[in-house]
Amino acid sequence: MPFDLSGRIALVTGGASGIGEATCYTLASAGALVYVADRELDGAERVAAAIRSAGGQSAAMRVDVTVESDCAEAADTVTAAHKRLDVLVNNAGIGHVGTIHQTTGADLDRLYTVNVRGVFNMTKAFIPGMIARHAGAIVNTASIGGIIGIKDRLAYCTTKFAVVGLTKCLALDHAMDGIRVNCVCPGRVETPFVKQRLKEYPDPEAAYREMAATQAIGRMGTPEEIAASILYLASDEAAFITGSALIIDGGWSAGT
């Protein structure tokens, strides 16, 4: 069976909603025991319970990726229970809308702390165990905004370009340690966050149509479509792939 993660231990940050939630379900359905890690423990417990109800294996874990001690504690917990982590999905992230005139230094720092430092903190906590075992797959959630510039998304794009760079450097540094590091670069995805943002526009339906039209295929992606790509990169079928930024944008960037 392709993309079989039976017997693997996985952890997904930002696992309580959106792409992270879909990724937890997808990895669990492929046979992995999934730790649902999120700053909101209630949401993480809801997702873990749903996985168990469907016959999968899962546990919830409260983790704030911006706090180094939280990340270290997560690594200690997983290592104590299983002696290893096979798959780390660094998915937690936040967004911001604005040009440089509409972006404060505090805005940029806030996004950097979550989107970049969060990936750094979690990877730093778990990669020593992967090095010791000479095995591991890390998948980071970047964005098409880490490949091309997007109007009015200065801080967001800045941090997602950094995630792509961090991914490539980690892949090079640890290729001979048996660790593969890749990232996914989604276009616009119809997540709960995006749906909530749409409600803030004067004409939500027009805003939805505009966002959908950004993609060449005329619609936004689904969290499940991004999760399927994360599963592929985490699986043995992607054994020859490291340092890649997989674009999943419905053709948004095809004309650039």
Tell me which residues are annotated as active site. Answer: 156
Q: How many of the other CB atoms lie within 10 Å of CB of 132? A: 13
Phi, psi (deg, nearest 5) at residue 110: -65, -45
Q: What whole-number distance in Å separates Cα of residue 234 and Cα of residue 102?
A: 38
Close Cβ partners of 161 (under 8 Å, ≥ 6 residues apart): 145, 146, 147
Phi, psi of 180 (to 5 degrees): -105, 135
* Residue 97 burial (CB count, 10 A): 16
Q: At what angle do helices 117-133 and 105-115 cross, to 10 degrees?
A: 20
